[in-house]
Structure 1
């Protein structure tokens, strides 16, 4: 179980010694030995999951989802979105990464990258583990509606795009927030076929990365067909790489898990798609 100690508000007249804290249980955790490392898969259910046994939910698979990584940020964003009706309530599955470059990136031919990240190159193995072990476990144990989206930022964003290109049927939607498309000399964007279409919806965003990261993004965008469902949020003027996940995960979930709420723009919860949008790829 994932637990933290509940805070206790003490009445001025209540004896302190008579009040004991209770664990605040927020989810469940599975331990795996995968890719020669111990790691956790953390599951946080919607608050009404037990109370509505006939209901099913979409699943959000969040990379870098360890308890010491982005799990609680993702949970907060998902719950906050739900309060405003910005995206559908979902089951959140956080995937802990241990050696991020090793697990999330393919090999590189760039000497500087190989020197900086000598273990990088096992993204295909990590993807196989997700597809063969994690997804079957989650789908068999939790009531889901068939929608399973993958969310990742930076190196995890590269993994999202790579999965979307190489094994698109693994998930029903993808969100790559400021993906590291500079990796291996933009090899993935350069190798992508022209006129990409027919894949699940894809959310892409770009903060003030500049250089080859920006070049790789626009190379990839140039290959997306008009019939492909995607949203590109260009935030180069207002977000840094360090603030992109906080700023854009709410929007990514809004695109992938829309509610149809008609009040969102009134509260500034606008889906910014400089290219593509909710109607792109629609018949």
Structure 2
């Protein structure tokens, strides 16, 4: 297995050299937001070879507070190292910059309407627009990304400080917006523990699919921001001792040796390590209930070749490399007509994993969304044993 992983990494590296334009890219995209009534800029990272990997789709990580570019850059940089270069994501950085003309600040995005005098005095006019910001993310940013890029259905959200608070706030508003919520040092205490109480009182019985929640803290509540600790303890106690729903996996990270700012790197690393080890594969097995009629055709190298297809569901043989033989429709074409759930991921072989095919337009699994189209064509350019 390790030999195969190393080989795949080398293939990826060599292909990137051959196709010189296929480097990781970051695009700056401006959206004229109706929800916020202002223009916003987002950052979009696409992985190495995205333009060439036309037969692959990618899950998306949404990182908040990316007017501080380091949150975006750190996240997009570390995925490869945490996965031994085996997984690729699209990373979207959502910014909340200060708009001098509108006198509109980050906290306007991230805080809901406040009720207590203490919170109103503290945050003043820089609060109260979290619901519109939520609409901006859910009805403008995510639809733009899904319509413009080849995205899969699983989304990760990442926030720090008040943007971590917003990540948890978005969970309580609509837990289906994201599948994974990573909240690094959130403020749970604002407005007399409003967010802490919303989390504790949320109706968790409505969660019927795998969701991952990660919360962490640094040394907040010890030498500063003393009100954070009792609010945090309330939430941690609820998750540790009261919550009963097997669909929700909660992981808590504590980093008392770090301060509020520098806790981001170690906390993010721990959260994503846990996600890749315990959550990722479970969520990847989630497929549509509906099956779609699909025709898959592949161009081969030799007219005598027998080609098999195998993939991530029963009708694809559940990764058995010799389960489903494709039909020969011409000397250099093989075809199979099949019912598939979405998203379907698969590979071609000559009957065993040593003969796995290298297919133009993908470094790894071929991914299709059969709800979008019914006919797919691919071309084999080589095999692992050639």
- The two structures share one fold, judged by TM-score above 0.5: yes
Map 1:146-225 onto structure 2 (within 5 A). Answer: 146-191=153-198, 192-193=200-201, 196=204, 198=207, 200-210=211-221, 211-224=226-239, 225=243
Map 1:32-43 onto structure 2 (within 5 A). Answer: 32-34=31-33, 35-43=36-44
CA gap 1:164/1:256 in 2 versus in 1, 3 angstroms:
farther
CA gap 1:223/1:259 in 2 versus in 1, 3 angstroms:
closer
Count of residues in correspondence between the two structures:
235
Partner residue in 1 for 2:64: 63
Give the unaligned 5+ runs of structure 2. Answer: 1-22, 98-104, 281-386
Superposition deviation, residue 253 in structure 1: 2.1
Partner residue in 1 for 2:250: 230
Structure-1 separation of matches of 2:70 and 2:95: 8
Pair 1:135 & 2:155 matched: no
Are the equivalent residues in 1 in contact too, given 2:24–2:50 (CA < 8 A)? no
Render the CA deviation track for 1:79-119: whole Å, top value 9, x for unaligned: 4434476xx42110000112221101112233343233222
CA gap 1:169/1:217 in 2 versus in 1, 3 angstroms:
same
Larger Rg: 2
Instruction: Give the secondary structure class of the aligned counterpart of 2:267.
Output: helix
Instruction: Give the secondary structure class of the aligned counterpart of 2:51.
Output: coil
Structure-2 separation of matches of 1:25 and 1:229: 32
Pair 1:47 & 2:48 matched: yes
Structure-2 separation of matches of 1:110 and 1:150: 28
Structure-1 separation of matches of 2:250 and 2:49: 31
Structure-1 separation of matches of 2:153 and 2:24: 26
- RMSD of aligned residue pairs (Cα, Å): 2.5
Pair 1:242 & 2:261 matched: yes
Are the equivalent residues in 2 in contact too, given 1:40–1:66 (CA < 8 A)? no
Structure-2 separation of matches of 1:205 and 1:186: 17
Give the unaligned 5+ runs of structure 1. Answer: 1-23, 262-283
Greater percentage in strand? 2
Instruction: Give the secondary structure class of the aligned counterpart of 2:154.
Output: strand
